[in-house]
A and B are shown apart, each in its own frame.
Chain A
Amino acid sequence: MHVKNVLGDKKAILILLGPALLVYTLVKLVPVFWSLGLTFFTGNPLGGFEFNGVGNFVRFFTDPQAMSALGFTLKYAIVISVGQILLGYGLALLYVFVLKNASNFIRTVVFFPTILPTVAVALLFKSLFAVGDQQGPVNAGFQIIGLESVDWFATGDGTFTVAIIMELWRSMGFFAVLLYAGLLDIPDETLESARLDGASGWRLVRHIVIPLSLPVLLSSVVFSANNTLKVFDTVLALNNGGPGGETTPLTLYMYRTVFSYSDYGYGSTIAFVLTIMCFLVTLFIFRSARRDNTTA
């Protein structure tokens, strides 16, 4: 058919798709395979490469710093994702059920920090929690209520705590809006009829609202996991992944290995592990979601 021929017009396809596909292949796909190749070598362009077989992979699993980075990546991803979803969902419920039409102002205010450059936010929080001669409001506040000031950045746990507070402060508004949009999709009639049946408050939320907002909750979890696994700027700017390597995720460890220790091969191995992790986590979440949907 003529229409089918036009819709399948090879020349048009080439012109429309060609540039994107070409650039994409050259700049994204080929480098991925190149990087994969590098994982079997050690060295750098300056000093030359040496074939190493699977040595890098073996090294990864016996390298305490790599394992620590892996552990931190997971720890950060889980804690922040859970926090983002919980706080975001709580706020979304607030917007929908308590504030209703007046929620616009609050939504706007709470969302704003999301668009700020992450380095700016990290530097801000670094000063907010500073200790010593130029201490920040947090420690000053502690001293007013009689507590001792805390050197947050001297310990891994302290730095992690600040990182959590900072990231949740920054992104809870985003997830609130995201989940709010999902909650809006729940038809009024469903809620009304549930209320008529006597469900209200917490029971309404638990039995009606949550199940109906599962799709958007799932998307949010995937989105959140994808981003938190790749955290880089915030931990770098906050305390340089420190103290020591306590808040260094795989992304930062890879960057250091390549550019500070000049081992491109091992660095590519770390990047590869990270990529696999992203794939696996996304796959895992999707699988468990599909199982939920079919059994629900």
Chain B
Amino acid sequence: MTTQTLPPVTAPRGETTPSKPTRPLRPGSLIRFVKRAPIRVFLTVLVLVELYPLFWLLMGSFKSQSEFTSKPTWSLPESIGFENYVAAWTTGSIATNLWNSVAVTVPSLFLMLLLGVAAAYALEVMVWKGRNTILLAFVAGIMIPGQMILVPLFTVYFRSGLTSTLWPLIITYTVMGLPLTVFLMAAYFRAIPREIFEAATLDGSGMIRSFFSIGIPMMRNAIVTLALVQFFSIWNDLLIALTFTTKSSLATVQVGLLNFSDEYGSTQYGPLFAAISINVVGMLVLYLFLNKQIMAGLAAGAVKG
């Protein structure tokens, strides 16, 4: 006899209801409550484990250096002052880092999506010889680690004089994102019956026009999802950013964080925590707005990948 009794399902699975379905009090409900107590304890612990480090981080970002050395580590800050944040933003150049990250991510995303979706369209919707081989070439690229192309790229960028700009990053990110983009978009395009495009051509539309008038609009959701997936991929990259940023004025967020404690030369936890908090809170805001999309997108990306 199993001990687990599953309460009746009152709403279709997968949908979110903001509150638990109400149930009339029944004699067995006390037993059920006690049975669920271990689950509730577990959930509380889970949430605590997930959130405490971030809470500790946030509290630490308001502390002054002397508070770190003299008081116990979980004590609350004496005051919510923003000096650490100002220090991180200016001396610690978090502002520059954020700007660089944005300046690199947005163009890369745009180019990657434009080129990738077009390529996927040509590979999947259009019919011609050799397309499977080329698709395979793109897909194989998913497994190639950045390390393999780092050294030659580095030499080439220097040769073409691009090294004191953000262009090496943009070009590299665009290309690193192409395999996954092409692969996923090809999969999505495969799901569309070809008749739709054939009908369009019978109406006199060329393939390029079909691409813009039919292909992209149909893929809007997929493109948005993909954009989210790749956004995090680029924003959180370290290897490429570390190699191709020659000056600290070009550093992206991850590189800036890595060098942060070096800039300060010591364990100045306050500004460091402030810097990390800025990143965390920034992501949090983005997440709260888009969390469903993000979760769905990353999941889809991984399943198909």
| Touch between chains A and B, by CB atoms below 8 Å | yes
A244 at the interface (CB under 8 A from B): no
Q: Which of B231-273 contact A (CB under 8 A)?
A: 232, 235-236, 238-239, 243, 253-254, 257-258, 260-261, 267, 269, 272-273
- Asked if B79 CB lies within 8 Å of chain A CBs, one says no
A216 touches B46 (CB 8 A): no
Interface string of A160-193 (1 = CB under 8 A from B): 0000000001000110011001101000100000
A118 in contact (CB, < 8 A): yes
B289 at the A interface (CB under 8 A): no
User: How many Å from the CB of B70 to the closest CB on chain A?
Assistant: 10
Residue pair A114, B298 in contact (C-beta under 8 Å): yes
Q: Is B197 in contact with A7, judged by CB distance below 8 angstroms? A: yes
Is B121 close to A, CB under 8 A? Answer: yes
Closest residue of chain A to B255 (Cβ to Cβ) is A119
A196-208 CB mask vs B (1 if < 8 Å, else 0) is 0000111100000
| Cβ–Cβ contact A27 & B175, under 8 A | yes
Contact of B175 among A23, A96, A174, A184 (CB under 8 A): A23
In-complex Cβ contact of A23 among B2, B174, B280 (8 A) = B174
* Cβ contacts under 8 Å, B142 to chain A: 226
**Shortest Cβ distance from B60 into chain A, in angstroms?**
8
Inter-chain contacts of B72 with A (CB < 8 A): 140
A69 at the interface (CB under 8 A from B): no
* Residue from the list B21, B119, B152 in contact with A16, Cβ < 8 A: B119
Question: Does A76 sit within 8 A of B, measured CB to CB?
Answer: no
With the chains together, A279 CA to B119 CA distance in Å? 24
Please measure, in the bound complex, the distance between the C-alpha atom of A83 and the C-alpha atom of B16, giving whole angstroms. 28
> With a CB–CB cut-off of 8 A, which chain B residues contact A292?
none
Asked whether, in the complex, the Cβ of A116 is within 8 Å of the Cβ of B303, the reply is no
CB pair A282–B143 under 8 Å, yes or no, is yes
Q: Is A212 an interface residue (CB 8 A)?
A: no
Using Cβ atoms and an 8 Å threshold, which residues of chain B touch A116? 236, 279-280, 283
> What are the residues of chain A within 8 A of B276 when measuring CB–CB?
120, 123-124
Closest to B253 in A: A117
A229 to B73, CA, bound (A): 35
Interface set, chain A 119-135, CB cutoff 8 A to B: 119-120, 123-125, 127-128, 133-135
CA distance A45 to B211 in the complex (A): 45
Q: Is A70 an interface residue (CB 8 A)?
A: no
Interface string of A70-114 (1 = CB under 8 A from B): 000000000000000000000000001111111010111111111
Q: How far is the CB of A89 from chain B (nearest CB, A)?
A: 14
Bound complex: CA A230 to CA B7 (Å)? 43
Q: Are B115 and A19 in contact (CB under 8 A)?
A: yes
Which of A56-64, A150-158, A251-259 binds B? A251-259
Min CB gap B44→A, angstroms? 10
A219 to B300, CA, bound (A): 10
A28 contacts B128, C-beta separation under 8 Å:
no
Please measure, in the bound complex, the distance between the C-alpha atom of A13 and the C-alpha atom of B2, giving whole angstroms.
61
Does B138 sit at the interface, judged by CB under 8 A? Answer: yes
Chain B residues with Cβ below 8 Å from A114 are 298
- Whether the Cβ atoms of A200 and B155 lie closer than 8 Å is no
Q: What are the residues of chain A within 8 A of B187 when measuring CB–CB?
A: none
Contact A17 to B50, CB < 8 A, known contacts A98-B39, A272-B148? no
A113 CB to closest chain B CB (Å) equals: 7
Q: How far is the CB of A92 from chain B (nearest CB, A)?
A: 11
Q: State whether the Cβ of B161 lies closer than 8 Å to any Cβ in chain A.
A: no
Contacting pair A8 B126 (CB below 8 A): yes
Given the complex of chains A and B, what is the CA–CA distance between A99 and B143 in angstroms?
Answer: 36
CA distance A251 to B144 in the complex (A): 12
Interface string of B112-148 (1 = CB under 8 A from A): 0001101101110111100000100110011111111
**Are B303 and A216 in contact, with the CB atoms below 8 A?**
yes
Q: Select which of B13, B20, B152, B238 is within 8 A of A102 by beta carbon.
A: B20
Whether, in the assembled complex, B192 has its beta carbon less than 8 Å from a beta carbon of chain A, the answer is no
Say yes or no: A119 contacts B172, CB within 8 Å: no
A134→B147 contact, CB < 8 A: no
Sample of 12 A–B contacts (CB below 8 Å): A8-B126, A8-B127, A23-B175, A24-B141, A28-B176, A29-B137, A45-B155, A108-B291, A117-B254, A123-B261, A201-B4, A271-B147
Chain B residues in contact with chain A, CB under 8 A? Answer: 2-4, 6-7, 9-11, 13-17, 20-21, 39, 43, 46-47, 49-54, 56-57, 60, 68-69, 72-74, 115-116, 118-119, 121-123, 125-128, 134, 137-138, 141-153, 155-156, 171-172, 174-176, 178-179, 182, 194, 197-198, 201-202, 206-208, 211, 232, 235-236, 238-239, 243, 253-254, 257-258, 260-261, 267, 269, 272-273, 276, 279-280, 283-284, 286-287, 291, 294-296, 298-300, 302-305
6 extra interface residue pairs, beta carbon distance < 8 Å, beyond A20-B116, A24-B175: A7-B197, A7-B201, A24-B137, A115-B286, A271-B145, A275-B148
Q: Which residues of A contact B (CB under 8 A)?
A: 2-4, 6-10, 12-13, 15-17, 19-21, 23-24, 27-32, 34-35, 38, 45, 96-102, 104, 106-120, 123-125, 127-128, 133-137, 140, 169, 173-174, 177-178, 181-182, 184, 188, 200-203, 216, 219-220, 222-223, 226, 229-230, 232-233, 236-237, 251, 254-255, 258-259, 264, 267-268, 270-272, 274-275, 278-279, 282
